[in-house]
Structure 1
């Protein structure tokens, strides 16, 4: 499986790019100094490829970086970017784009998302997740579906139950509450999971009601991932059935941040959102 664009690799790549640009070198000149192909320099700087500690040493030698602390820090980033992650045992059932997203999510400190038809994976129950996965990938074997459900639950524990849990802000269209997925009992269980999640201090849950009419999120769902230390690593993530897009330009991030705030403004507040979810539960039981 190709190297993952984890945040650690992106940080390392950004630091190496800054060093190169500070010296006024092109990627071609750097490649010649190190003995790499120019494309490898670009892949490393973008975080698409990881490198080993001894390769970091070679780059820093080429850039004449002598500060021991800086060299140690960058070598540590290279080692962290190559470490075995919790999702590695599931590599036979994970697509590259799903793995890349999980890698980003694992390092994020904040996640803002708008969903129009589905409950986000981080808040799904096993029964709901199984029904969704089976509907979206009908050719999967029962064993593969079980494995993907396990991935989803492990994701939840990894980011929502860690010592510094992910700051999660979710806006759900009312349609995602009304569409019965997995049968009424499973949907009731899912909605009750949402009610419990909405009481957790690191989770903010709002519902965009049908009564809101036309709204800023009509173009579809998206996720904004934010990372510690370096805001230039923040990402907007959108996907379709066959592809995904990661937007990293500052202008895109600003656009989607404003979009999310507009959606939040049109949605019910947290208390009214819980009331609506509870009302939908009563309609199902």
Structure 2
């Protein structure tokens, strides 16, 4: 288990090594092409050291990689804030966002699919402004708050964060809502979410806020890129009872897929194939035991009184 930057370095290095091999080059030959020492290529490929975006571009050019989407994803893994000649939208919030949360957002912005189990709160990508404010406000006083308000890096603020708590809260809510643009991008992120019934029953922000949030879930569930399922209390104990998780999948290669787990003081990233397989199988099992998407709509509507 590692933090976000370490996972990104290893994944980036593995992908660059595969691209070099596919181009028929040894590490020494690649180093000569870009004017480096062979040891620098080796350190990058093993994830032993970070790499600048400019260096990644040099290697991709040397390996003949022209696919725009693949290049952008690898630059994101390198930690670039300027992909395809544009700054990512979250760059404006660097003062309030810790590196771990920026890592999460950068992965989310480039993923083609996101599978998530939520046991406490509505996924951040489906939250209404009022609900997002209530969740973030409840956690902003803590040292950490996960991407969807359940633990992890979201609520941790950077060294240049505003001193005023209300201003900091406003910024974090704006970030959470801006993240939702991935569902409207072209192509959009495909979101599959399994929600424990507790998510629907927990009255966040009061009855009116919760009623609007449940209505938002009904609207989102009808989008072709969103698959929403409810795991009712009647399902009893289930494989996800130990806590929520997120699985990110990417369009270029499954080797870049990653599982994100939130804890009270950190977020952990799992990249081993056996971990990915275990969590993918767990998610599939949860979907089987959850209500169908159609029945889930009726269930949500019943709770919300719609």
Cα 1:47–1:262 shift into 2, 3 Å? farther
Cα 1:138–1:55 shift into 2, 3 Å? closer
Task: Tell me which of 161, 170, 191 is aligned to 1:146.
Answer: 170
Where in structure 2 are the equivalents of 1:135-174 lying within 5 Å? Answer: 135-138=138-141, 141-157=165-181, 159-174=182-197
User: Is this contact kept in 1: 2:121–2:199, CA < 8 A?
Assistant: yes
- How much does 1:280 deviate? 1.1
Task: Tell me which of 222, 225, 230 is aligned to 1:199.
Answer: 222
Cα 1:76–1:251 shift into 2, 3 Å? closer
CA distance in structure 1 between the aligned counterparts of 2:21 and 2:183, rounded to whole angstroms: 38
- How much does 1:72 deviate? 6.4
CA distance in structure 1 between the aligned counterparts of 2:49 and 2:168, rounded to whole angstroms: 28
CA distance in structure 1 between the aligned counterparts of 2:241 and 2:56, rounded to whole angstroms: 47
Partner of 1:63: none
Task: Tell me which of 110, 116, 121 is aligned to 2:119.
Answer: 116
Ranges in structure 2 where 5+ consecutive residues have no aligned partner? 143-163
**Within the alignment, does 1:266 sit opposite 2:289 as a pair?**
yes
Ranges in structure 1 where 5+ consecutive residues have no aligned partner? 61-66
CA RMSD of aligned residues (A): 3.5
Partner of 2:302: 279
User: Is this contact kept in 2: 1:44–1:50, CA < 8 A?
Assistant: no
Cα 1:103–1:41 shift into 2, 3 Å? farther
- How much does 1:114 deviate? 0.4
Partner of 1:90: 93
> What are the superposed Cα offsets for residues 21-47 of structure 1, whole Å, 9 maximum, x if unpaired?
976769xx99xx935876x95356549
- How much does 1:153 deviate? 1.1
- Name the one with the larger helix percent: 1
Cα 1:123–1:79 shift into 2, 3 Å? closer
TM-score normalised by length of structure 2: 0.76
TM-score normalised by length of structure 1: 0.81
* Structure with greater contact order relative to length (CA < 8 Å, sep ≥ 6): 2
CA distance in structure 1 between the aligned counterparts of 2:186 and 2:57, rounded to whole angstroms: 31
CA distance in structure 2 between the aligned counterparts of 1:144 and 1:47, rounded to whole angstroms: 35
Where in structure 2 are the equivalents of 1:217-236 lying within 5 Å? Answer: 217-236=240-259
**Within the alignment, does 1:14 sit opposite 2:37 as a pair?**
no
Please state whether the residue corresponding to 1:171 is helix, strand or coil: strand
Partner of 2:50: 49
- How much does 1:162 deviate? 0.6
CA distance in structure 2 between the aligned counterparts of 1:94 and 1:47, rounded to whole angstroms: 25
- How much does 1:150 deviate? 0.6
Q: Which moved more, 1:75-84 or 1:198-207?
A: 75-84
Please state whether the residue corresponding to 1:94 is helix, strand or coil: coil
Greater CA radius of gyration, 1 or 2? 1
CA distance in structure 1 between the aligned counterparts of 2:43 and 2:253, rounded to whole angstroms: 20
User: Is this contact kept in 1: 2:7–2:269, CA < 8 A?
Assistant: no
Task: Tell me which of 33, 36, 43 is aligned to 1:34.
Answer: 36
Count, aligned residues: 267
- How much does 1:107 deviate? 0.5
